[in-house]
Chain A
Amino acid sequence: MIIKSLSITLFLSLVYSLFISYIPTPSASQNQNQDNLVKAQKYMYAEHVPENVIVGTSLSCHILTDSLPRFYNLSFNGSSIYDGLYVILRREHLPKNVFIETNLYLNNKSELLSSQLFDIYPFYLSKFSSIFRFEHQPIGKIIFSLNPIGDKIVVNHNNFMKRVKEKLSKETLINNKKGITQDVDLFDKMLLLEIEKYNQIFPMKIVSQKLNELDSIVKILHKKKVNVYFFEMPINFRLMKSKRFIFLNNKLRKKFSYNVDYIKTDTTRYITSDCVHLKPEESLKYTHFFKSQLQKRKLLK
């Protein structure tokens, strides 16, 4: 029975391998963590290393690389800059320029992400065959193919809810009001949580540890003739004025005053969806700003 089952598995693997080799299908990533892994694996197993790589947290995920030729965004949602940096260092060939987001340099690297990427078993399986990579998960592909039905269901759901509203007009008014205030309430709650976080001062020991870790990585990159740039993503202006934000920024600039080029911080007020992440239209605005800074340095035409 065991041998028969193993033969079935082998057979399915071969068929699926042929399927994804000859019928190109889009990436099947379905959630934030999978997005991160797909991004990392695409970088790790690509034939050529991109010339410019952005490394950051979920904040930098909002930089739109479509308008930045020869750029690859290795920013991970819910993670840290160190994850991206270790992915870069894993390859033999390094990019020419690395852009590091500095907003959340205190975040620790994700053990989960690195074990999924670098542990012997997942690393060699994914290297050996693309069917073991996250972007080719068969269940993910099935779910992806259901998306057109999903769009119809979402439209029907919204229409149905509209009709329910029309029927219950009195309640609708209350609900509508609730709906409007709820978003504002949610934003306020998030802002309060973030302000609380940004008011906590980290122990100096942790700050020094993280600065040293970043410093050692920057030194390795410099040694291998990679140009390193630091940049800061805009967040809610109240948070940008917080004690912690200013304190950490000063510490970073003091540590790296000699060897890293800083891309100017954009002090324009940006609108965020949850105090820290830019709204889509604002992402475009910041990408333009970022692009203009690159053009000034002649990194982009």
Chain B
Amino acid sequence: MLFNSFSFIILLIITFFVYYLPVFKKFQISILIISSLIFYAYDNPWLIFLLFTSVLINSYLSYYVCFRKNKKRILTIGVILNLAILAFFKYSPLFAVSFFDVNHGVGSFLLSIPLPIGISFFTFEGISLLVDIYKSTDPIKEKLVEGSLYKHVHKSLFFIVFFPHLVAGPILKADTFYPQIGLKKLSEIDLSSCFKQLIAGYFLKMVIADNLKEYTFWIEYPYFESQSSVALLSMLIGYSCQIFADFAGYSLIALGLANLFGYRLAENFNFPYISLTFKEFWKRWHISLSTFLMKYLYIPMGGNRQGKFKMFLFLFLTMAIGGLWHGAAWSFAVWGAFHGVLLVLERLFPVFKNRSFFFRFLKRCWVFFCVTLGWLLFKLTHFDQAIQFLKSIGTNLDLHLNWQICINILVYSLPVFIYHFVYLFKKKYSLWNVIIGKVDFIIFGILLFLILTSSGISGSFIYFQF
């Protein structure tokens, strides 16, 4: 089910009213679990068995991690099981293409395995549950695992399947979500903050991302070869804005929805395109994934405790693995490795600090340029095609300029840049903050009007494929 579908709106309205009815206040969590399962199983009910398997493995093992003696062994088994499920369902096609004949036997079988939606997200949340319980101190552990096994399974089921984050994050961490589980009252909900998050999210997704996708569609082999250099550059920038609007929009909707039911999810995006460095970019882009990789991969590997060379190596490996997490194609690993190299280079050759406006502007443009270049591998997963695209930028100078593509990309990308500029101004000038605060109802009124009248043709969220 998509957040922007009619069926979802109906499900949401029903869930919201039943959830806050005093008669059902004891069953609030169960209501959300049932809604979440309907949400997940709506398009393909069979997938629910895999979700249940994952939940059962993680809730049982996390319970035993808490109460049994051989904790480390149970934790290792749990992490391996999670990764095996992920590898089997997500990376089988990659193994098939890389090591087998896809027309016969094992290769053909591996290629036919379907990718369950959201598997990358709920598997990581399962790992987070196991590791957080294993690592936590006794008083926190008691908060995470309280009561009987049945109660723990019930809570874990809710933690993993809660629909706002189920299929595309933000990736939750058990130690921040479990303490929030409890009775919620409508009077405690900040409805205007929910409204703002939902409107901003739907605007980014339905007006910006869905319209941009109609023009970035042309970044496809061999169609891009017929476009002029200016159009190709516009499409690349447009794709950068589209991917931001799509994913940040989704995350904002998720935050708003969770807020409606009294749960606060961590911010997943924090104006990433204003970043001055690549390190800063990864602290602002898909924050829940970056922190997950940092906490559960980079630091356990050794982090920065074993000398500079190893630190660079761990950083590079973390980014390459993080890249591969995005999709079952080597191009994603290369995309991650590309960011790994940028992060390493940035640390090896730190640019002197210059606080001038112009210098900072140039740095922002440089980070945006590199990040945008990297997104090309998301769209063109064959290297030769990505290289051909870059070559075409150089050779197609004299081709006829497609004005329609350029102007549409410019107009629909503009709000993404304005969104970032407003944030920068808000940080710098407090008066701006006051003005925005006083007229925000007009801004959100206009955004809602544009959602109703200027939405693009709805497509699924880009991050659903991961």
Contacts of B404 in A (CB 8 A): 30-31, 150
Q: Residues of B at under 8 Å CB distance from A? A: 5-6, 9, 191-192, 195, 199, 207, 211, 214-215, 222, 225-226, 228, 230, 395-401, 403-404, 407-408, 411-412, 440-442, 444-446, 448-450, 452-454, 457-459
Q: Establish whether residues A121 and B6, one from each chain, have CB atoms under 8 Å apart when the complex forms.
A: yes
Question: Does A190 lie at the interface of the complex (its beta carbon under 8 Å from any beta carbon of B)?
Answer: yes
Q: Establish whether residues B445 and A12, one from each chain, have CB atoms under 8 Å apart when the complex forms.
A: yes
B-contact bits for A172-190, CB 8 A (1 contact / 0 none): 0001101100110110011
Separation of A131 and B449 alpha carbons in the complex (Å): 10
Q: Establish whether residues B445 and A5, one from each chain, have CB atoms under 8 Å apart when the complex forms.
A: yes
The answer to whether A6 and B445 touch (CB under 8 A), given A33-B214, A37-B457, is yes
B-contact bits for A135-177, CB 8 A (1 contact / 0 none): 0111110110011001101100110010011000000000110
17 further interface pairs, Cβ-Cβ under 8 Å (given A16-B453, A150-B404, A182-B395): A5-B199, A5-B445, A6-B448, A8-B444, A9-B452, A13-B452, A30-B404, A115-B458, A136-B453, A154-B403, A157-B401, A175-B397, A175-B398, A182-B225, A186-B225, A186-B226, A190-B222
Q: Establish whether residues A165 and B398, one from each chain, have CB atoms under 8 Å apart when the complex forms.
A: yes
The answer to whether A138 and B222 touch (CB under 8 A), given A150-B403, A178-B395, is no
Q: Which residue of B lies closest to A141 (CB)?
A: B454
Contacts of A2 in B (CB 8 A): 191-192, 195
Separation of A158 and B398 alpha carbons in the complex (Å): 7
Contacts of A8 in B (CB 8 A): 441-442, 444-446, 448-449
Q: Establish whether residues A139 and B440, one from each chain, have CB atoms under 8 Å apart when the complex forms.
A: no
- Dominant SS among interface residues on chain A: helix
Q: Establish whether residues B408 and A30, one from each chain, have CB atoms under 8 Å apart when the complex forms.
A: yes
Q: Which residue of B lies closest to A157 (CB)?
A: B401
B-contact bits for A275-291, CB 8 A (1 contact / 0 none): 00000000000000000
Q: Establish whether residues A32 and B214, one from each chain, have CB atoms under 8 Å apart when the complex forms.
A: yes
Separation of A121 and B451 alpha carbons in the complex (Å): 13
Q: Choose among A1, A32, A189 the residue that contacts B195 (Cβ–Cβ < 8 A).
A: A1
Q: Establish whether residues A186 and B214, one from each chain, have CB atoms under 8 Å apart when the complex forms.
A: no
Q: How far is the CB of A177 from chain B (nearest CB, A)?
A: 11
Contacts of A140 in B (CB 8 A): 454
Q: Which residue of A lies closest to B9 (CB)?
A: A121
Separation of A223 and B222 alpha carbons in the complex (Å): 45
Contacts of A186 in B (CB 8 A): 222, 225-226
Q: How far is the CB of A155 from chain B (nearest CB, A)?
A: 9
Q: Which residue of B lies closest to A119 (CB)?
A: B6
Q: List 28 A-B contacts (CB under 8 A).
A: A1-B440, A1-B441, A2-B192, A5-B448, A6-B445, A8-B446, A9-B446, A12-B449, A13-B452, A16-B453, A30-B404, A115-B458, A116-B457, A138-B453, A139-B207, A140-B454, A143-B411, A150-B404, A150-B407, A153-B401, A154-B401, A157-B230, A158-B400, A176-B398, A179-B398, A182-B225, A186-B222, A189-B222
Contacts of A293 in B (CB 8 A): none
Question: Does A34 lie at the interface of the complex (its beta carbon under 8 Å from any beta carbon of B)?
Answer: yes
What 3 pairs between A and B have smallest CB-CB spacing?
A8-B445, A150-B403, A4-B441
Separation of A125 and B400 alpha carbons in the complex (Å): 39
